[in-house]
Chain A
Amino acid sequence: MTRGRLPAPFGQHIDRERPVTFTFEGETISGYAGDTVVSALLGEDRWLLSRSFKYHRPRGPLSLAGHDANTLVQTPEAANRLAEELPAEDTPVVTGQNYWGSLDKDRFSLLDRLGRFLPVGFYYRAFFKPQGIWHFWERFIRAAAGLGVANLAVQPTYSDKQYLFCDVAVIGGGPAGLNAALTAAEGGAQVLLVDENPYLGGALTYHRFDTAGTEAGPCLEQLRTAVTAHSGIRVLTDATCNAWFSDHYLPVFQGQRLFKVRARTCVLATGSSEQPVVFRNNDLPGILLCSALERLLMHHGVAPEQPLVVLAGNDAAYRTALTALDAGLTVAALVDLRPGANDPALTSALTEQGVPLYTQATVYQAEADASGTRLAAVRVHACSDEGTVGDDLAHIPCGLLAMSAGYMPAYQLACHGGAQLSYHDDRAGFSLSNLPQGMLLAGSVNSLHSLEAVCADGRNAGRAALEQLGLDAGAVEATECSERVNHPWPIFKHPKGREFVDFDEDLQIKDIINSARLGYRDIQLVKRYSTVGMGPSQGRHSALTTARLIARATDRTVSDTGVTTARPPVKPEPLGLIAGRRFHPIRRTSLHDRHLTLGAQMIPAGSWRRPGFYGRPEQRLAAIAREAQAVRSGVGMIDVSTLGGIDLRGPDAAEFLNRIYTYGFLKLPVGRTRYAVLTNEQGVVVDDGVAARLGEDHFYVTATTTGVDRVYRDMLRWNTQWRLELDIANVTSAYAAINVAGPNSRAVLEAAGCDLDLSAAGFPYLACREGQLAGLPVRLLRVGFVGELGFELHVPSLMAATLWDSLMAAGEDYDLQPFGVETQRLLRLEKGHIIVGQDTDGMSHPGEIGLNWAINNKKPFFVGGRSVTILAGQPLKRQLVGFTLGTGAPQPKEGHLVLRDGAIVGNVTSCEYSPTLDRIIGLAYAHPSDSEPGGSITIRTDDGVCVAAEVAALPFYDPDNARQTLCALKQPRPAWPAPCSRWHSRAAATRLWF
């Protein structure tokens, strides 16, 4: 029972005027606005919050700071929420997790009795005989592991991210952080102050720093007012700085926002974690840290009625007892691990109020009530500094035990930055050193504990930050704190065990020691074998004890033993906030809406969407056949805007291309194009395109849709080494392109109104021209990917729709059909043209894929040239060949294997039914000795059915290239004089294009 909430100054966080309710385990719980789920539950004297990971022991709050796993609960949306971080007001439904039956009566708690048969790492010792039986056991072990239950139906809610920049980021708004922020701001720095609590002040809001308890209040008032009023300080409360990344890049989580803070310097005033005493049943609900009790009283005004025992390893715990007395609690005893308090005033203050003191004594064992879920009494024994336990001194009934064995610096952020922890035997504690440049410590993270020293240390950190920023800093104050706050050995082994070192993972003293006895002596191995420190609180309350235990067990110093590596994040962080608003840009060509209107089926091509074919999905094959037929016998056109476009200008442009691509480009005449093959340094073909020479020092090069970004990047990279004189621009999005192909393509272009001579003589195959078409400035390349007379028209993207509409209108008489990528793939396959990335893989070199003709062996260098030459001198291991099959045969699929004498020799890369040829045609890698046309290769198709395909000469269609190079023309016209010079002379238009 509780006696209702305490009056002010207790209960600073709660609004007594606004009662709120929520349900926990189906029961309605009442509290006040400002309560957390935990404080409201404790307000109703409900202490059992969770079941432990392994033994399903009852657990209640330990730190009340969000630093332990004892308060992990389940909400309908999420598992593993820290109940002290859930506002009672905003959390209507809460349940416990990881139990069978009910939280109060968990049937899995039987495991606690079987504990002796489940030693540390028990799962390594059993469950594997006979072979394969683990599969059976694993189901039970997996089901028993895990904590809460994920709700698989929830969808991400809105969250966002914001960048922040500051001169000094102060992490922690306690006395040290407030002083650091003020000093830095007063010195002219822009300061960001981050604190994870709802109100600034840290320990000043709950801890008693002096016997009378009069220091903290005025100090807090003064600091808070000054900080809040200072225009140079931005304060983020309820905000957690969860990691330190290189160069002071700090993720700060606040509500539904992730701030990404870039600070010039960084003051860590993160405080320290109070440490538990390790004794039998130290995990019973009702046993908590001194600071947790102080928070409960001061923040939430919750005053449990049951008698309190304070277990002290330092003077601070005496002051906790004084605060408890002020709050009206019954203090049944103060048990001091030491011979007595350093400050005699504390002793007399307590004895004056009738509190029995036991010195050089410890709680050896805690006892539960009849339900087994709540502390009922403690057994006090004499003890020594080395952990030996003596006589039974007392048996004290109590429902509450507050303990403090000392403090561990909140080292996580510092260690993310590479700081080292070293142990000092004289004060029995770790301290941090080797901080990264620009990182400063202040306050108890810096091993200072008296209020005076902490405040001065904060000011000093502010000064040091100013100095790093080159600002006037002022003189450094002396900080001294001789008070010893850590007990050297607050660890009391009990013959019956259950002295928990790690609450998260249910690890007892013997588990840690036995890990070392088994040979896992390194602290990292102890962690990995026993799982100590691997739980949600990442060793906050176990690292110090573990280091001490292992040091003793392996006869090393605590410093040599150390603690395991601290990794981000400091506290568990929601994945949704890290993911943020997810951004999945899709690229559409200027003609996207035209395609949709025409009924195109859009397919992804990298980040682009392209028409696969035009027509209903169920009529796919018919649509492709129709489109192909149009190109072969009439005219078709395809949007090729997604093709990469790279513009290269400058006196060295030709030399640059000559080095990048396999072909020679120095002598390419203006007004001509050339196939451009790109190999990497291993001699592997990685991209291809067409390079058009538009001027002596101006090339326009196409690249594959998905390859252009890499090609462009590689070009830039190479030229940072070569330093050739040219500019390289990725103009892919600046231009749209349409390929008009088919016997009637020339007629359509003429009908659309073209001012160029399009005749075979005037505009031969592989030429490029620039002129007007339908009143638009158009760059034309005569290329032949699909194997018919064809023109590739490149225009500024803004003009693409106009061009498309003009061509559609002009093509009406010729039954112009738009065609999609799938049709294009079929057509190019009939023509035997490869697609880099489909017919090549990460090993394809030019010799394997019949591209030796595209290599210029005479030039001194090109990227990959050396490798290509070496490979050319080796016998081929495989070769890309064409094959055909009759229509009755099972059609091989791309990826099916080519076999020879039962061994894999290659694979099918392309395969289609060709309506033009009425055969199945394809490309496949085959053994070189099978590459002669007329021979046969074996392809294993679906279900293992092997077919013998005939090796065919390439191309399958129009082997003499009669159709794409030339078409019957009425009247050949003279060649266009200097066609590309106009591109140069129209600088104004060119500028407009970019």
Chain B
Amino acid sequence: MPVALLKYGLGDDFPFEDHADLPGPTALRDHYDVVIIGGGGHGVATAYYLAKYHGITNVAVLEKAYLGGGNTARNTAVIRSNYLTPEGVAFYSASVKLYEQLSNEFDFNIMYSQRGQLTLAHTDATVRAFRQRAEVNKHFGGRTELIDRQAIAELVPCLNLDPAELPVLAGLWHRDGATARHDAVAWGYARGATQRGVELHQLTEVTDIASDSGRVTGVVTNRGTVHCGCVVQAVAGHSAPLAKKAGIDLPLVAYPLQAMVTLPVKPFLNPLVSSSALHCYVQQTSRGEIVIGGGSDPYPLYQSRASLPLKESLIASAVDMFPFLSEMRLLRQWAGITDMTTDYSPIMGLSPLENYYLDAGWGTWGFKATPICGQTMAQLVASGGQVPELIQPFALDRFDRFQQVNEMGATAASH
């Protein structure tokens, strides 16, 4: 048994208050150097890096509900870097590197588990695309390869290689693919940030944004107005409506994205398995539940309701891939709101307002980028607007410049 656990067991009542992960609620002050809107993974990660690496601690993270309660709580915790574009691969690879040592960085176990991700190709067009992704990944030092049916069968013996009249032709095997306890990522960042003086205000909703002569001056909340030196917005599914309050039009469309989970069973599936043609991915959590996810709902909606048709089609695909799942029991289904860009890459960096920084357009790929987002957004804020090279390709004005970073092929239903 690890020594770390002894201290809890040996005292009669371990003083948890003295070692709390998160401080209790405090009053909202009327000025902060930095206001971060959105207490999800990205928001608290930005606060964490600001506090720890840039010494900027007069920071408030404003969260309308509870810490990590949006897409940080709802995503299915896939971490990977097998993207298609050099810009995307470089960015997500840097994120994976940070993830690998995040538990130790935090002194809080996020249960980062590198189990590998297997994506199945059922058409020769997909095989071509996968080969390109494998090559791009290898070029940037990632561990990704194209593997054949035989190798797939050895990797996941319980997989049906001929699902739904769509024989598996090959697979993209991404050894760096991983999962982690998603909530713990937000908690670890929030814990590290608040311990360094950052204020996390939950149940604090930004209702308006005040600006003057091209600069943001403060935010209006349900708890009063807060003045600030600069603002970072990191609100995932609600990015466009919030930016609108600052007078900024973001080219985003919001779609619900649903996922579901079964009752837990003993481990039988190690890698994360997804199918490009069936629009379905399946993984087993460390609790033993099977998590099933797929593509976004087909219509735009700002509501995280669950629906029956999507459940039916998604589970049919999962059962096609793993026929024995038919005897397992579904426990829960839920949805998040994904803010999609046309090129399936995020919007990061500067905005038309001089001191208002954007972290948006995270669609279905936000969780895996959490650490690198925090790090780069903190650099951006700390430097007063110098955009780090890694996120320059994701600038908002790329849509005007026709310099999109197209990740559509590397994103659909593999999250």
Contact = CB atoms under 8 A, between A and B. Distances in A.
B319 A522 contact: no
Contacts of B127: 895
Interface string B36-75: 0000000000000000000000000000011111000100
A128 B286 contact: no
Interface in B1-46: 1-6, 8-9, 14, 16-17, 19-25
B221 interface: no
A481 B409 CA distance: 61
B164 A80 contact: no
Contact of B409 (A123, A134, A151, A842): A842
A79 B267 CA distance: 12
Q: Which among A134, A150, A529, A579 has the greatest number of chain B C-beta atoms within 10 A?
A: A150
A260 interface: yes
B263 A574 contact: no
Interface string A221-261: 00000000000000000000001011001010000000010
Contact of A895 (B132, B265, B307, B342): B132
Nearest to B11: A116
Interface stretch (A270-278, A458-466, A866-874): A866-874
Contact of A117 (B6, B316, B329): B6
A79 B265 contact: yes
B174 to A, nearest CB: 15
B109 A134 contact: yes
A824 to B, nearest CB: 14
B253 to A, nearest CB: 13
Q: Label chain A's interface by main secondary structure.
A: loop
A151 B324 contact: yes
Contacts of A522: 65-67, 69, 202
Contact of B315 (A150, A578, A841, A871): A578
Contacts of A251: 308
B312 A579 contact: yes
In which size bucket is the chain A interface?
Answer: 35 or more
A143 to B, nearest CB: 6
B63 to A, nearest CB: 10
A217 interface: no
A154 interface: yes
B26 to A, nearest CB: 12
Interface stretch (A427-435, A580-588, A721-729): A580-588
Contacts of A597: none
Interface stretch (B236-244, B331-339, B348-356, B361-369): B331-339
A156 B286 contact: no
B284 to A, nearest CB: 8
B132 A907 contact: yes
Interface stretch (B99-107, B204-212, B372-380): B99-107
Interface in A127-179: 127-132, 134-135, 137-138, 141-143, 145-157
A125 B16 CA distance: 13
A79 B319 CA distance: 16
Nearest to A146: B288
Q: Which among A132, A575, A871, A874 has the greatest number of chain B C-beta atoms within 10 A?
A: A575
Contacts of A137: 2
Q: Which among B17, B23, B266 has the greatest number of chain A C-beta atoms within 10 A?
A: B266
A171 B406 CA distance: 49
B151 interface: no
Interface of B: 1-6, 8-9, 14, 16-17, 19-25, 65-69, 73, 86, 100-101, 103-104, 108-109, 111-114, 122-125, 127-136, 139, 158, 164-166, 181, 183-184, 187, 202, 262-268, 286-288, 305-308, 311-312, 315-316, 318-320, 323-334, 342-343, 402, 404, 406, 408-409
Interface of A: 72, 77-80, 114, 116-119, 122-132, 134-135, 137-138, 141-143, 145-157, 243, 245-246, 249, 251, 260, 416, 514, 517-522, 524-525, 528-529, 536, 538, 565, 567-569, 572-576, 578-580, 582, 584, 586, 603-604, 682-683, 837-838, 841-843, 867, 870-871, 874, 893-897, 903-904, 907, 909, 940
25 contacts: A79-B265, A79-B327, A117-B9, A122-B5, A125-B109, A143-B267, A145-B287, A146-B264, A147-B266, A156-B326, A522-B202, A569-B333, A574-B329, A575-B319, A575-B325, A579-B316, A584-B166, A683-B402, A842-B343, A895-B133, A897-B135, A897-B136, A903-B86, A904-B86, A907-B135
